[in-house]
Amino acid sequence: MPPGRPAPGVVRTPPMRARALGWTGQSIPIVGQGTWNMEQDDRKRAVAALQRGLDLGLSHIDTAELYGSGRVEELVAEAIGGSARRRDEIFLASKVVPSNASRDGTRQACERSLRRLRTDHLDLYMLHWPGSHPLAETIAALEALRAAGKVRFWGVSNFDVRELEAALRIAGETAIACNQVLYHLEQRSIEHRVLPFCSQHRIAVVGYSPFGSGDFPAPSSAGGRALAQVAARHGVSPRAVALSFLTRHDALFTIPKASSAGHVAENARGDVDLSAEDVDTIDGAFPRGKSGELPTL
């Protein structure tokens, strides 16, 4: 076999750009794959789309016990089981719903997710949003899961700065791997406070709903035209430009959801190195807006 040539049957991962997930140092692709509402899609098509994403290097899969009441985790297991990727080449993330996030409830929820995902560990486990169980209990449970090897890293989701400060007071530095928050071109609130705070504490920011949950700027709109202009400079699509913009800082990752293999292939090109001029063009078309509370869906 000539050097550099993949062996038959071996999938060569294209160089999707990767970076360290905050203080963890774990390198993961800047563009991953979301799975919310996938239980509503054609199952075979959705499984094939996730597998295509894995082949293209989108090895960070984001799911949650909430999605389809566990059915999406089962679908993800099917995709991973039938993929050419080994489990240790995939960065698998799931979340506990706040109503389950008591000390013992978190442990039990994690066990259920592991069973549905047919794996013995999660790479990342998050509290889906702040809830009513004392945060100290949830964090104690997450730390216990980490110590037991069921979870490699843990994080939070939909936390504003005040909630992150509270979590840091309990857990200390280098404990919270990420904060998963709403972030797309028309919703850039995190750039005011959450992103700088997370960067300062080396907490990765995983942006969700990068395409506005299916509400992407129309090509005929001013924003759509600005994206097309930048896209033409790089020979990629407007959506690839959007993903590149949303991951332009070291702390940022994104997790578009796609149940179509074609969409996944397009998203896999979302790691373009944008110039200062490109960023200015997009900034002009999609202003950051006023600082405010952390938005959620």
Alpha-carbon distance values, 237 to 143, 204, 209, 270 (Å): 41, 26, 18, 9
- Counting contacts by CB under 6 A, is residue 257 touching ligand NAP? yes
Pick the binder of ligand NAP from 13, 26, 213, 229 (CB under 6 A): 213
Pick the binder of ligand NAP from 83, 180, 244, 247 (CB under 6 A): 180
Which C-beta is closer to ligand NAP: that of 197 or that of 211?
211
By CB under 6 A, the residues from 140 to 179 that bind ligand NAP are 157-158
Which C-beta is closer to ligand NAP: that of 9 or that of 254?
254
- How does DSSP assign the chain, residue by residue? --TTPPPTTPPPPP---EEE-GGG--EEESB-BB-TTGGGS-HHHHHHHHHHHHHTT--EEE--TTGGGGHHHHHHHHHHHTSSS-GGG-EEEEEE-GGG-SHHHHHHHHHHHHHHHT-S-EEEEEESS--SS-HHHHHHHHHHHHHTTSEEEEEEES--HHHHHHHHHHH-SS-EEEEEEE-BTTB-GGGTTHHHHHHHTT-EEEEE-TTTTT-PPPTTSHHHHHHHHHHHHHTS-HHHHHHHHTT-STTEEE--B-SSHHHHHHHTT------HHHHHHHHHHS------SPP--
- Counting contacts by CB under 6 A, is residue 212 touching ligand NAP? yes
Catalytic residue flag (residue 125): no
Closest approach of Cβ 279 to ligand NAP, in Å? Answer: 20
Closest approach of Cβ 151 to ligand NAP, in Å? Answer: 17
- Which residues fall within 8 angstroms of residue 50, CB to CB, at 6 or more apart? 33, 35, 61, 75, 76, 79, 80, 83, 264
Which C-beta is closer to ligand NAP: that of 215 or that of 280?
215
- Which residue sits closest to ligand NAP, CB atoms considered? 34
- Counting contacts by CB under 6 A, is residue 267 touching ligand NAP? yes
- Counting contacts by CB under 6 A, is residue 214 touching ligand NAP? yes
By CB under 6 A, the residues from 68 to 127 that bind ligand NAP are none
Pick the binder of ligand NAP from 234, 260, 279, 295 (CB under 6 A): 260
Closest approach of Cβ 165 to ligand NAP, in Å? Answer: 20
Q: What amino acid is encoded at 138 in this protein? A: T
Which C-beta is closer to ligand NAP: that of 75 or that of 255?
255
Q: Which stretch binds ligand NAP (CB under 6 A): 99-107, 167-175, 187-195, 202-210?
A: 202-210
Q: What mask, x for binding ligand NAP by CB under 6 A, covers residues 226 to 245?
A: -------------x------
Pick the binder of ligand NAP from 155, 256, 272, 278 (CB under 6 A): 256
Which C-beta is closer to ligand NAP: that of 148 or that of 232?
232
Annotated catalytic residues are: 67
